[in-house]
Amino acid sequence: MQSELLSALAGTLLWFKCENLQKAGAFKSRGAVNAVFSLSHEEAARGVATHSSGNHGAALARAAQLRDIPAYIVVPENARAVKKAAIRQYGGEVIECAATLESREARLAEIVASTGARFVPPYDDDAIIAGQGTAALEMLEQVGDLECLVVPVGGGGLLAGSVIACADSGVEVFGAEPEMADDAYRSLQTGRRVTSHTPNTIADGLLTTLGERNFEIVRDRVAGILLVSEREIVDAMALLWTRLKLVVEPSAAVTLAAILRNPDVFRGKPTGAILTGGNVDVTDLPFRTAEPAR
Amino acid sequence: MQSELLSALAGTLLWFKCENLQKAGAFKSRGAVNAVFSLSHEEAARGVATHSSGNHGAALARAAQLRDIPAYIVVPENARAVKKAAIRQYGGEVIECAATLESREARLAEIVASTGARFVPPYDDDAIIAGQGTAALEMLEQVGDLECLVVPVGGGGLLAGSVIACADSGVEVFGAEPEMADDAYRSLQTGRRVTSHTPNTIADGLLTTLGERNFEIVRDRVAGILLVSEREIVDAMALLWTRLKLVVEPSAAVTLAAILRNPDVFRGKPTGAILTGGNVDVTDLPFRTAEPAR
């Protein structure tokens, strides 16, 4: 999709890849489907498992449902009800645990041990990376003269898949990341993967830390990691809602925020942005709100 | 666009015509463009004028800009800044007046007298009705087996255009209207056009009263006017935002609300709904809201 006004604001033609309209509301369906359908019949029969408080859990549950196999999704007990409902809607089994990484990993290990299910990680996995890369591949087919591509970076599944997809295209791939969750930026700057940080951003899909294989794939191939502030994320999200008329989540809006913050990088270069997802709780939106009308 | 979940909720295949993605964010662009480009060169040179606090004003300004002629839009002084900005963005001249119908009409008459501009009414006009009807025409082409079509009714431009467009198709056309602005419903019930009422609905595109020629066109052709409550409008809007991932205005959501309220009418019949517009102020949304996160 395009918007004349957003292109004018950016000083270049912008193209938006609408993964908010993807099944399960996010690009995560791409990697999940690829991972599930890459399993042998024997592996698949025992099901798949993961831990997730976000879009990966619902996407994996849906992919498993498509193959008619079980999905066990470990979810922190403080996750939103809407997230658990999405997993169950796709036939996934929600397994609650305490809201710590240790608890999530321990509970997942128990599930895998007792069921024989295959652990499908959210980003640090070849099948996931390959699946996520198909969004960029499609953009290359759909937009002939693309010069730049901007994708959000959290764990780095989409970014790694995108740089591989664009390797022979001449398209420069940028990661966009919140200042308040800047581990990928710092990892690339220092050349050493940051493994411990305490992110705090409205872009709740980008709280994860850049994965090991993701770091290795992107470190020499990405054109840069562009940081954006929380205010810039919300402003970009408002522009996408009011100009494209699309419901996108904050993690998706970091792309437009990064483009608008760096006009000199993108001016005159046809640029794609992957709008990664549209799963939001409409009763809890970040726009400054007046009281309800009624 | 379609959503498996919304179709399942309705018990039939639903198709949504996304006029929120239309230029200027609403189907009003169709009628405005038809009206402006139907003028002779001589008429057009003097420009067009209307009074509007909503989408018609911006749509007419944009249509006039396309033909490079002046547009004079009389806007009540209490209209939202965002509405005036939209008119000016398309090169229209905003003329403020007091917030009464009398004042709007008097100011418009002055403008027409002093400029010679052609008054383009928002709905009670043949060129407008014909233009609005193209949305339904396109749906008939795009969805082969449509049996029902549901469109919002305010002044009745879209409804009149839709019943004409569907006249030979066998498609039943329903109007959807807020209980709190039920003049079309009462007009059809009694066979006499209600000309005075005091609507009060969140669906601010539907505050107008059914027009004269609109009433004559729809009275014997419409399959029915379906009423919906304010709560049903907001709930349907939330479904459209979270399931279709589309920003639609409350006036557009009355269609889905009417379908979900009348399952026996639509069950098993492939049904289209025209999502008429997507112009909302994201800082003033009707969903029950928590405090902003930051």
The contacts of residue A262 (CB under 8 Å, 6+ apart) are A226
Give the nearest partner residue to B294 out of A242, A248, A286, using CB atoms: A286
SS (H, E, C) chain A: CCCHHHHHHHCCCEEEEEHHHCHHHECHHHHHHHHHHCCCHHHHHCCEEEECCCHHHHHHHHHHHHHCCCEEEEEECCCCHHHHHHHHHCCCEEEEECCCHHHHHHHHHHHHHHHCCEECCCCCCHHHHHHHHHHHHHHHHHCCCCCEEEEECCCCHHHHHHHHHCCCCCCEEEEEEEHHHCHHHHHHHHCCCCCCCCCCCCCHHHCCCCCHHHHHHHCCCCCEEEEECHHHHHHHHHHHHHHHCECCCHHHHHHHHHHHHCHHHHCCCCEEEEECECCCCCCCCCCCCCCCCC
Residue B293 has a pLDDT of: 39
Best residue of B282, B283, B288, B294 to probe chain A, by most A CBs closer than 10 Å:
B282
Q: How far is A251 from chain B (nearest CA, A)?
A: 15
Q: How many domains does chain B have?
A: 2
Same domain, B37 and B83: yes
Do A224 and A195 fall into the same domain?
Answer: yes
CB of B214 within 8 A of CB of B190? no
A73 within 8 A of A50, measured Cβ to Cβ: yes
Q: What residues of chain B lie within 8 A of the CB of A241, using their CB?
A: 247, 282
Identify which of B274, B9, B5, B31 has the alpha carbon closest to the alpha carbon of residue B149.
B274
Whether A284 and chain B come into contact, CB under 8 Å, resolves to yes
Which residues on neighbouring strands pair with residue A176, listed in sequence order? A152, A226
Position B142 scores a pLDDT of 97
Q: Is position B294 within any domain?
A: no
A283 contact B CB<8A: yes
Task: Measure CB to CB from residue A283 to each of B21, B289, B292 and give the nearest one.
Answer: B289
- Beta carbons within 10 angstroms of residue A52's beta carbon: 26
- Say if residue B15 is in the same domain as residue B33: no
What is the Cα Rg of chain A in Å? 18
- B-contacting residues of A 24-53, CB under 8 Å? 25
The answer to whether residues A12 and A157 belong to one domain is yes
Q: Are both A85 and A229 inside the same structural domain?
A: no
Q: Which residues contact B8 (CB under 8 A, 6 or more apart)?
A: none
| Inter-chain contacts counted by CB atoms under 8 A, chains A and B | 78
- For residue B20, give the nearest of A20, A245, A278 by CB distance: A245
Average pLDDT over all residues of chain B: 94
CB contact B81 to A (< 8 Å): no
Q: Is A119 on the interface with B (CB under 8 A)?
A: no
Taking CA atoms, what residue in B is nearest to A5? B89
Give the minimum alpha-carbon distance from B22 to chain A in angstroms, rounded to a whole number: 10
Between positions 210 and 269 of B, the ones with CB within 8 A of A are 230, 238, 241-242, 245-248
The answer to whether residue B140 neighbours chain A at the CB level (below 8 Å) is: no
Report, as ranges of residue numbers, the positions in chain A whose pLDDT lies below 70. 288-294
Q: Closest residue of A to B249, CA-based? A: A245
Do the Cβ atoms of A288 and B283 come within 8 Å?
yes
Residue A45 lies in a domain: yes
Structural domain including B130 reads 4-26+125-275
Question: A120: distance to nearest CA of chain B, Å?
Answer: 26
**Alpha-carbon span B177 to B155, nearest angstrom:** 11
- Give the chain A residue nearest B281 (alpha carbons): A242
Q: Residue A78: what pLDDT?
A: 86
Residues of A in contact with B20 (CB under 8 A): 245
B146: pLDDT strictly greater than 60: yes
What is the identity of the amino acid at B209? Answer: T
| One domain for residues A84 and A58 | yes
Q: A25, B245: Cβ pair inside 8 Å?
A: yes
Give yes or no: residues A166 and A238 share one domain: yes
B253-265: per-residue pLDDT in tens? 999 999 999 999 9
Distance between CA atoms of residues A157 and A128, nearest Å: 7
Token representation of residue A28 = 């995560």
Domain end point (choices B100, B119, B138):
B119
Q: How far is A24 from chain B (nearest CA, A)?
A: 9
Within-domain flag for A151: yes
At A102, list the tokens: 């240790």
* pLDDT tens sequence across B191-221: 999 998 889 999 999 999 999 999 999 999 9
In the numeric block, the tokens 């049903």 are attached to: B232
**Is pLDDT of B289 > 70?**
no
Distance in angstroms (rounded) separating the CA atoms of residues A287 and B282: 7
- Edge-first strand order for the sheet with A118-119 is A93-97, A71-76, A48-51, A118-119
Residue of B nearest to A230 (CA): B294
**Is A202 in the B-facing interface, judged by CB distances under 8 Å?**
yes
Residue B286 lies in a domain: no
CA atoms of A7 and A270, how far apart (whole Å): 9
pLDDT tens-place string over residues B34-79: 999 999 999 999 999 999 878 999 999 999 999 999 999 999 888 8
Using the predicted structure, report yes or no on whether residue B172 has a pLDDT greater than 50.
Answer: yes
Contact between B27 and B277 under an 8 Å Cβ cutoff? The reply is yes
Mean pLDDT, to the nearest integer, of B101-111?
93
Cβ of B246 within 8 Å of Cβ of A241? The answer is: no
Among residues A103, A119, A135, which one ends one of the domains?
A119
Provide the Cα torsion A125, A127, A132, A138; round to 10°: 150
With an 8 Å Cβ cutoff, are A282 and B284 in contact? no
Q: Which residues of B touch A5 (CB under 8 A)?
A: 89
Helix axes A126-142, A28-37, angle to 10 degrees: 120
Q: pLDDT-derived band of residue B81, with 50, 70 and 90 as boundaries?
A: confident
A134 with A111, same domain: the answer is no
Q: Do B242 and A294 touch (CB under 8 A)?
A: no
The answer to whether B245 contacts A21, with C-beta atoms less than 8 Å apart, is yes
Picking from A119, A150, A165, the residue at the C-terminal end of a domain is A119
Instruction: For residue B223, give the amino acid letter.
Output: A
Q: Which residue of A has its CA nearest to B20?
A: A245
Q: Are residues A152 and A12 in the same domain?
A: yes
Residue B144 sits in the same domain as residue B270: yes
Q: Cβ separation of A294 and B283 shorter than 8 Å?
A: no
User: At B232, which helix (H) or strand (E)?
Assistant: helix B230-239
Do A226 and A176 contact (CB within 8 A), yes or no? yes
Other C-beta atoms closer than 10 Å to the C-beta of A115 total: 15
| Dist. CA A89–CA A57, nearest whole Å | 11
Q: Which residue has the tokens 């000083």?
A: A11
Phi, psi of A11 (to 5 degrees): 70, 20
Asked if A20's CB is within 8 angstroms of B280's CB, the reply is: no
Q: Is residue A288 part of a domain?
A: no
Q: Which helix (H) or strand (E) holds B131?
A: helix B126-142
pLDDT tens sequence across A65-124:
999 999 999 999 888 888 899 999 999 999 999 988 889 999 999 999 999 999 999 999
What ipTM was predicted for this assembly?
Answer: 0.92
CATH of the domain at A216: 3.40.50.1100
Q: Do B21 and B32 fall into the same domain?
A: no
Residues B140, B263, single domain; the answer is yes
Side chain identity at B84, as an amino acid letter?
Answer: K
Q: Let me know: does A290 contact A32? Beta carbons within 8 Å.
A: no
Residue-level pLDDT at A279:
92
Residue A288, pLDDT score: 60
Q: Which two tokens stand for residue A173?
A: 């791939």
What are the chain A neighbours of B287 within 8 Å (beta carbons)? Answer: 282-283, 285, 292
A284 domain-assigned: no
Q: How far is A88 from chain B (nearest CA, A)?
A: 14
In a domain, B34, yes or no: yes
Decide if A40 is inside a domain. Answer: yes
Residues of chain A in contact with residue B289, where contact means CB-CB under 8 angstroms, are 283-285, 289, 292
Per-residue b or e along B7-41, where b marks 16 or more CB atoms closer than 10 Å to that residue's CB: eebbbbbbbbbbbbbbbbbbbbbbbbbbbbebbee
Q: Is the dihedral of CA A22, A25, A31, A33 positive or negative?
A: negative
